[in-house]
A and B are shown apart, each in its own frame.
Chain A
Amino acid sequence: MSTTELTPKDLKSNQEVRWCPGCGDYSILNSVQAVMADIGVAKENMVIISGIGCSSRFPYYMDTYGFHGIHGRALAIATGTKTANRDLSVWVVTGDGDCMSIGGNHFIHTLRRNVDLKILMFNNRIYGLTKGQYSPTTPMGQITKTSPYGAVDAPFNPLNLALGSGATFVARTMDTQPKHMKKVLQQAADHKGTAFVEIWQNCVIFNDGAFKDMTTKEVRDDRTIDLVPGEPLIFGTGGSKGLKVDYLDAKVVGPDEATVWKCDTDSPVPAFLMSQLDDEPDLPTAVGIFRCVDRPVYDEQVSDQIAAITAKKGPGTLKDLIYTKDAWTVD
Chain B
Amino acid sequence: MTEELTDQLRKVFVEALELPAEVDVENLKYRDIEQWDSLGHMTLVGAIEDEFGVQFDTEQVIDMSSFKVALDMLRGTSVDG
Is the pairing of A and B real?
Answer: no
Q: Which residues of B contact A (CB under 8 A)?
A: none
